Structure 1
Amino acid sequence: MITDDRASLLEARRSLKMARSPEAYIRGTTKLFYEWLDRRTASIPGGPAIWICGDCHLGNLGALADCDGEVAVQIRDFDQTVIGNPAHDLIRLGLSLASSARDSDLPGVTTAKMLDALIAGYAAASVENGSSGPRLKQPKDIKKLLKHSVRRRWRNLAMENFQTKRPLLPRDECFWALHRNERSAVLSLCKQAELQMSLFGEEKEKDCHRQVLDAAYWVKGCSSLGRLRCAVLLRDGKHGRISLLDIKEAASATAPSASGARMPRDYAERVVAGAKALSPNLGERAVASKVVNTAVFIREITPQDLKIEVRRLSSNEIEAIARYLGGVVGHAHGRQMDDQEWHSWVAELCRGRKKEPEAPSWLWSSVVELLSIHDQAYLEHCRRYALAHH
């Protein structure tokens, strides 16, 4: 794969990927969401300043394993994480769910019920620090996801990403050759005993026996496509276990931070801090570093890590998923607050609910307005990019 013109190739791929569906476009246009937020005149509840995902759509939630192999549904992407207003995560997730409801040809009343379920699930979340997820009834799709996740092994991860059970990175449309200086820096970084100790939890340097097998540029993601991203394979010489590392460039966040918020100035350290606060299963196996003076965060991808894939759903199914995912986000937010602060925040969120069941007016009007804006922008995007490739 020719890498000299890598940036333009990746930009073209990103544009085509965003043209596949309205939901794909929403995932790739975080900037459009926050441009709308800047223009927003109607009030949105101002929550306590806590770590938020900043890009809380369906594709950024899923099954994640902790260091002991226990699996829970948590937030799985933190490119946009900041200390900000937790209501922004709810609006972003509500927009994503509403788009999925329309893709399933569901009536408009389903969207209204679904947004109410989202808020209800959020408000009902357990916020105890000791629990890994919300204590809400799991929809059948979530049960299937978790059941499938715990059964997965390395061969599943390898076949899914490399189309082979062998521990190698092919050079194809998903894996490109790194530039020489990038490859040298990545290999040197991954050989460091300190890094391996941080990622894999070895207590002693002598326990680090992992050999770097290969590294490649990883063409992956949507909104982040075009930034530095590498896949690295390691083999544990002691046990023969294969590990897959994801090295991803950290950039400045589009999501607005709360006034006076104290966050790490280093972009990668900000991402890791947000992950530790919101998603401990991921945060405990993420490390900030640098590759060729570029801030990157590194995590091991385990076979149990799976994103939520939403197929065509019935009204009851998507309402149940909205309620459960609302609980996941509520749990991630709530663990950062004390009990009094949490209950005060939930009361503020639900103040716009004139009756039950009914979504708060601020959430309903925000999602409806955003759907309209994204529909128009999506069609214009398709006209500009997709037509040229048909």
Structure 2
Amino acid sequence: MSAKDRDSLLIARRNLKMARSPEAYIRGTTRLFYNWLARHSLSVPDGPAVWICGDCHLGNLGALADRNGDVAVQIRDFDQAVIGNPAHDLIRLGLSLASAARDSDLPGVTTARMLDALIGGYESASGKSQAHTPHLRQPKDIRKLVRHSLRRRWRDLAMENFQTKHPLLPRNKRLWPLHRSERAAVLALCRQRKLGEIVLEPEKLQKSCNPTVLDAAYWVKGCSSLGHLRCAVLVGDGKHRPVSLLDIKEAVAAAAPSAAGSGMPRDDAERVVAGAKALSPNLGNRMVAARVMDKAVFVREIAPQDMKIDLGRLGAKELCEIAHYLGGVVGLAHGRQMGEHDWRSWIGELTSGRKRKPDAPSWLWTCVTELLSIHDKAYLEHCRQFALEHH
């Protein structure tokens, strides 16, 4: 398959995937989100310039293991990470939660309460000590996610991603052969000692004096990343036993607006890694920037304990509890980058409306409801354009 044919197939697959549900459409329309935000002149508080996720929807938060195997719920995707306005993360997450509320057939008042809970959770992360040591009460669904995460082992990771326990990557609809030049470049990258020292856990390297690449394949994964280089690499211990699964992903220019004079790395892969380290140490400390065939890429080890939040139909109370908790998770990610004075000043600006009236701040309510209306029309048009002919 030529590169041109592969790209056209991936673009078609992305369009169909985005048509599956409103939430799937949200995940694939980051650039449109920021275009809509700017075009409709929505009033957004101007927050302090810190690293933000830039694409903070439900699917981009979840359980992440650190290098010692401990698990915490943190942000898990940084393709759009920039030094920018933290309010953008709240709006993006609010939009995702509002969509989830409608998928659960909950009344409109639930969305108002949920957005209030989101801001309340974000505010609860105040204080420098809490910015480093989370003290957030986990809802039942989050506790279940963390318990499940801690029980997972290599075989669970392999079966979930590849439907096999063997130390090979089966070629199927999700794993395609790499082009010869791509495979050579990926293998050359994985032979770099720097990569092994940064990405692989020290204990694994001690047990495996000669880690080797068992297999590598083009990974058809995600939504917005379809059409860009992405590889799954299985690393073994030299005795054909799997040690690590590496995810090599092309870094592209961010759609999220960055603050003027922010001093971010110019290289997109270095930008992604810097954002990850600032926002989610559990993941950022096992990522590295590199290049493959003159493309900026970042490499991360996927741990068996890594799991995204996947919510089914929820009741109003459960959804509000999750919104409060995730608001705290995002608040901790932002707050650890600010001094006490800056954090209190920022929270004061965000919550000034709530002190006068016990509901969601008018700016967040206005942004989310306006964007939800725009999103619905665009989603239906997307379905008519790309999915109608396949049914």
Distance 2:39 2:85 in 1: 16
Deviation at 1:242, TM superposition (A): 2.0
Q: 1:140 and 2:153 equivalent?
A: no
Cα separation, 1, equivalents of 2:203 and 2:325: 37
How far off is 1:224 after superposition? 1.4
Gaps of 5+ in 1: none
1:339 aligns with 2:326: no
Of stretches 192-201 and 283-292 in structure 1, the one that deviates more from structure 2 is: 192-201
1:82–1:255: 8 Å Cα contact kept in structure 2?
Answer: yes
Contact 1:354 1:360 in 2 (8 A): no
Aligned partner of 1:297: which letter? F
The structural deviation recorded for 1:192 is 1.4
Is the 1:235–1:242 Cα contact (8 Å) retained in structure 2? yes
Partner Cα separation in structure 2 for residue 63 and residue 127 of structure 1: 23
Instruction: Show the 5 A alignment for 1:206-245.
Output: 208-237=209-238, 240-245=241-246
Stretch of structure 1 that moved more, 188-197 or 120-129: 120-129
Contact residue 57 and residue 96 of structure 1 kept, 8 A: yes
Between the aligned partners of 1:203 and 1:166, the Cα distance in structure 2 is 22
1:127 positional shift:
5.1
Aligned to 1:259: 260
TM-score, L = length of structure 1: 0.96
Paired residue for 2:64?
Answer: 64
Residues 1:181 and 2:189 are matched in the alignment: no
Q: CA deviation at 1:96?
A: 0.2
Paired residue for 1:92? Answer: 92
Task: Give deviations 1:72-109, integer Å, cap 9, x for gaps.
Answer: 00000000000000000000000000000000000000
Q: Hey, what's the Cα distance between the residues in 2 that align with 1:310 and 1:204?
A: 33
Residue 270 of structure 2 is matched in structure 1 by: 269
Contact 2:200-2:244 at 8 Å conserved across structures: no
Structure 2 partner of 1:112: 112
Q: RMSD of the alignment, in Å?
A: 1.9
State whether residues 82 and 264 of structure 2, in contact with CA within 8 Å, keep that contact through their aligned partners in structure 1.
yes
Q: Is the 8 A contact 1:106 1:315 kept in 2?
A: yes
- Counterpart for residue 360 of structure 1: 361
| Contact 1:199-1:299 within 8 A present in 2 as well | yes
Q: Is the 8 A contact 2:289 2:298 kept in 1?
A: yes
Could you tell me how far 1:134 is from its partner in structure 2?
3.2
Q: Does 1:316 align with 2:338?
A: no
AA in 2 matched with 1:114: M
Partners of 2:195 and 2:332 lie apart in 1 by: 30
Q: Which one-letter code corresponds to 2:183 in the other structure? A: R
Match of 1:26 in 2: 26
Is contact 2:118-2:323 (8 Å) kept? yes
Residue 365 of structure 1: SS of its match in structure 2?
A: helix
- Alignment pair present for 1:328 and 2:329: yes
Contact 2:126–2:344, Cα closer than 8 Å, also in 1: no
Q: How big is the shift at 1:205?
A: 9.0
Alpha carbons 1:124, 1:327 under 8 Å: kept? yes
| Separation of aligned partners in 1, 2:345 and 2:189 | 45
**Alpha-carbon distance, 1:126 to partner:** 5.0
**Contact 2:43/2:367, CA 8 A, preserved across alignment:** no
Counterparts of 1:162 and 1:262, CA distance in 2: 40
Q: Distance in 2 between matches of 1:187 and 1:131?
A: 39
SS at match of 1:244: strand
Q: Which residue of 2 aligns with 1:81?
A: 81
Q: 1:299, 1:327 → 2: CA distance? A: 25
**Contact persistence 1:113–1:357 (CA under 8 A):** no
Structure 2 residue matching 1:264: 3-state secondary structure? coil
Tell me which residue corresponds to 2:375: 374
1:206-260 deviation per Cα after TM superposition (whole angstroms, max 9, x unaligned): 8752110000000000011110000000012389452100000000000000111
1:202 Cα deviation (Å)? 3.9
User: Kindly, what percent of the aligned residue pairs are identical?
Assistant: 70
Matching residue's letter, 2:105: D
Q: Give the Cα–Cα distance (whole angstroms) in 2 for the partners of residues 353 and 261 of structure 1.
A: 31
Maintained 8 Å contact 1:250/1:296: yes
Work out the CA distance in 2 between the residues paired with 1:285 and 1:301: 9
Q: Is the 8 A contact 1:74 1:133 kept in 2?
A: no
2:387 alignment partner, SS class:
helix
Shift of 1:130: 7.9
Secondary structure of 2:228's counterpart equals coil
Whole-angstrom CA distance in 2 between matches of 1:59 and 1:359:
23
Q: Deviation string for 1:298-345 (max 9, x for gaps)? A: 000010000000100000000000000000000000000011111111
Conserved 8 A contact 1:138-1:324: yes
Aligned to 2:45: 45
Deviation at 1:158, TM superposition (A): 0.5
CA distance in structure 2 between the partners assigned to 1:195 and 1:142 by the alignment: 33
Partners in 1 of 2:130 and 2:203 — Cα distance? 24
The total of aligned residue pairs comes to 390
Residue identity matched to 1:119: I
State the alpha-carbon separation in 1 of the partners of residues 6 and 240 from structure 2.
37
Q: Aligned to 1:5, what secondary structure does the other structure show?
A: helix
d(CA) in 2 for partners of 1:201 and 1:142?
26
Distance in 1, matches of 2:209 and 2:228, equals 30
Q: Does structure 2 retain, via aligned residues, the 8 Å contact 1:115–1:322? A: yes
Instruction: Tell me how far apart the structure 1 counterparts of residues 384 and 42 of structure 2 sit (CA, whole Å).
Output: 32
> CA–CA distance in 2 between the matches of 1:347 and 1:278?
22
